[in-house]
Structure 1
Amino acid sequence: MLFLALSILLSVLLLLNFRIFPRYKVDTFQAIVFNYPVCFLTGWLLLPAGQSFTIDFSQTWTWLAFGLGVGFILTFMLSGASTQRMGITATSLANNLSLVLPVCFSLFVFKTGGKVFDSLNYLGLVLAVVAVGLSTYKPEAVTDSSTKRSRLGANVLLPIGVFLFYGATNTMINYMNLHYIPSTDKTIQVTLTMVIGAIVAGIVMLLIRLIQGKETIQVRNLIGAFTLGIPNFLSFYTLVMALSAFGGNGAFVYPVYNIGVILLAALMAALFFKESLSIANKMGLVLAVIAIGLISWQELASLV
């Protein structure tokens, strides 16, 4: 249970980083780009005794991992922009409820759901999508009505993008687990390979922006990379450790993890950043908890 609690705390810490970056004038783009080398260093230090990191270009999963790394950095950038413009609560909801997509792929495409979904499970999937929509509703105080509609419409796309991108990357991870991941003791190896893909993609994007004169590297952005990179890797690592502690029972760990992140993120946003929730946002928060509970009610009930 300790690893599960740590994973929840570390995941919320990522969102808090994005929220406070503007206060300290940390450039989110640069912090994300430089956070991946920090992730790699953190993972390298956690390699099991006797293991060394190598890249086998002859393996299909290596190239899929590279592709996932690119997806991760794009998703991370969306998450940062969404947190700053739509708030922690909406972004954490979109992030965590993206589990709907890999669940649907497991059920209808991969045929590896592990159980037969009943009407309550399907109702949970529908409510999850509704919850994301309600949580992203955040009108802005803009005097001109046309400008208000324009800004709101553009901002709403951010958590929706987070929902879709996180869902897509998690679906690909499930696909790799089914067909390409060599063994469970190689978890850090595979994760580090994904990080390499993110590092390459980030450096290419940064170089382009430097050449265009749109970026200036500053020390505070490197500091932000450390506060972001360490919890970024450890949140994933502790989640894997939690899965191992519960015998690989992802149907229990993931719902509890997602519910914990949603509720803790909303609490932190209200306490430290005075983020106000509209009635629609509160309804989305309640529906999110109900939805995740319905999706995995069988596993949760078996533990009571």
Structure 2
Amino acid sequence: MIYLALSILSSTGIFVLFKLFNKHKVDTLQAIVVNYITACCCGFIHNSQPVNFSEVMTSNWFIPAICLGFLFIVIFNVMAITAQKNGLSVASVASKMSVIIPVIFGVWVFKESVGFKKITGILLALIAVYLTSVKAKEAKASHASLIPPIILFFGSGIIDTSINYFAPDDSIPLFSAFIFCFAFIVGSFLLIYKSIRLKKSFKLRSLPLGITLGLVNYSSIFFLLKALRIDGLESSALFTINNVAIVAISTLVGLLVFKEQISKRNWSGIALALISIVLITLA
């Protein structure tokens, strides 16, 4: 269970770092690009075998790794926006309640059992995402603030499902490295575009937090995949334990460290999130 505990701590660290980006006025995209090249290097360094690029390009996970790299850069930016605009707890809940997507995928593709508890848990999860995403001041305002958490919800679920499905058991560091590599390439093009169009230069303050984020980000993926490969531990149970722990710890950090204000509506959403995860786990 040490892999699961390390994955939980690493994933919580990602949300905390995103919050620090806003506090220290770090350019989010620049730090994210630095993060991906750092995580990519970690994967190649951690890979114990020589890299045969011809074999990699013909492997059944190469194309999915390209797609995941593109998705990573998009969802990471959305995650940062959600943490900064909606709050740490909202970002963590919207991201980690996406556990229902791997559950649905398991039922549809792997023909896993489905019952009243599981269906109820999925419905409660959707309600929870809405309740935790709406701030007290925004209850009567435009629903535009809900767009980032909703995108984060579905994007994170697709990423979790795809990583678990496509990751090769014997090449986890290499698989992770290529995903981060493609994310870095996409992010670099975005940076070049912004520098030309908006004349924004690269700021050195993006390096320290970007490198730190890269180390934490790689750890979260690596330890999660290692935990998913433990015999006798079902992925549905692991995802739920992983996600509910991240939600709880992120919310606690948001309250104690960043002094975030949590309304009764938000608390009810968080409570529903925990109940839904428990129901899905029991199912």
TM-score (ref. length: structure 2): 0.93
Distance in structure 2 (CA, Å) of the matches to 1:184 and 1:244: 7
Q: CA deviation at 1:293?
A: 1.0
Matched, 1:117 2:114: yes
Q: CA deviation at 1:103?
A: 1.9
Would the aligned equivalents of 1:44 and 1:53 in 2 still touch at CA under 8 Å? no
One-letter code aligned to 1:149: A
Residue 219 of structure 1 aligns to a residue whose secondary structure is: coil
**Corresponding residue for residue 301 of structure 1:** none
Q: CA deviation at 1:47?
A: 1.4
Matched, 1:186 2:183: no
Give unpaired runs (5+ residues) of structure 1.
Answer: 299-304
Would the aligned equivalents of 1:53 and 1:189 in 2 still touch at CA under 8 Å? no
After superposition, the Cα gap between the structure-2 partners of 1:258 and 1:85, relative to the gap in structure 1 and judged at 3 Å, is same
Q: CA-to-partner distance for each residue in 1:146-200, whole Å, 9 max, x for gaps?
A: xx824xx2222111110021122233335x43xxx5x411122222121121011
**Corresponding residue for residue 64 of structure 2:** 64
**Corresponding residue for residue 87 of structure 1:** 87
One-letter code aligned to 2:216: P
Distance in structure 1 (CA, Å) of the matches to 2:277 and 2:63: 32
Bigger CA drift: 242-251 or 274-283?
242-251
One-letter code aligned to 1:160: I
Residue 296 of structure 1 aligns to a residue whose secondary structure is: helix
Matched ranges for 1:234-273 at <5 A = 234-245=219-230, 247-273=232-258
Matched, 1:149 2:146: no
One-letter code aligned to 1:190: F
**Corresponding residue for residue 52 of structure 1:** 51
Bigger CA drift: 184-193 or 66-75?
184-193
After superposition, the Cα gap between the structure-2 partners of 1:225 and 1:53, relative to the gap in structure 1 and judged at 3 Å, is farther
Q: CA deviation at 1:60?
A: 4.5
Distance in structure 2 (CA, Å) of the matches to 1:39 and 1:54: 19
Query: Over aligned residues, Cα RMSD in angstroms?
Result: 2.0
Decide which of 118, 135, 139 is 2:136's aligned counterpart: 139
**Corresponding residue for residue 168 of structure 1:** 158
Residue 53 of structure 2 aligns to a residue whose secondary structure is: coil
Distance in structure 2 (CA, Å) of the matches to 1:156 and 1:105: 24
Residue 265 of structure 2 aligns to a residue whose secondary structure is: helix
Decide which of 158, 166, 176 is 2:148's aligned counterpart: 158
One-letter code aligned to 2:183: A
**Corresponding residue for residue 96 of structure 2:** 96
Distance in structure 1 (CA, Å) of the matches to 2:240 and 2:102: 13
Distance in structure 2 (CA, Å) of the matches to 1:256 and 1:17: 22
One-letter code aligned to 1:6: L
**Corresponding residue for residue 268 of structure 2:** 283
After superposition, the Cα gap between the structure-2 partners of 1:279 and 1:13, relative to the gap in structure 1 and judged at 3 Å, is same
Would the aligned equivalents of 1:246 and 1:253 in 2 still touch at CA under 8 Å? no
Would the aligned equivalents of 1:36 and 1:229 in 2 still touch at CA under 8 Å? yes
After superposition, the Cα gap between the structure-2 partners of 1:253 and 1:105, relative to the gap in structure 1 and judged at 3 Å, is closer
Would the aligned equivalents of 2:47 and 2:171 in 1 still touch at CA under 8 Å? no
Would the aligned equivalents of 2:39 and 2:218 in 1 still touch at CA under 8 Å? yes
Distance in structure 2 (CA, Å) of the matches to 1:51 and 1:139: 54
Distance in structure 2 (CA, Å) of the matches to 1:45 and 1:296: 36
User: Quick check: which has more Rg, 1 or 2?
Assistant: 1
Distance in structure 1 (CA, Å) of the matches to 2:81 and 2:265: 22
**Corresponding residue for residue 37 of structure 2:** 37
TM-score (ref. length: structure 1): 0.87
Residue 137 of structure 2 aligns to a residue whose secondary structure is: coil
Residue 26 of structure 1 aligns to a residue whose secondary structure is: coil
**Corresponding residue for residue 15 of structure 1:** 15
Residue 140 of structure 1 aligns to a residue whose secondary structure is: helix
Would the aligned equivalents of 1:269 and 1:275 in 2 still touch at CA under 8 Å? yes
One-letter code aligned to 1:161: I
Distance in structure 1 (CA, Å) of the matches to 2:90 and 2:29: 20
Q: CA deviation at 1:248?
A: 4.4
Aligned residues: 282
Q: CA-to-partner distance for each residue in 1:54-108, whole Å, 9 max, x for gaps?
A: 3632345312210110001100000000000000101100101112123223323
Decide which of 108, 115, 127 is 2:124's aligned counterpart: 127
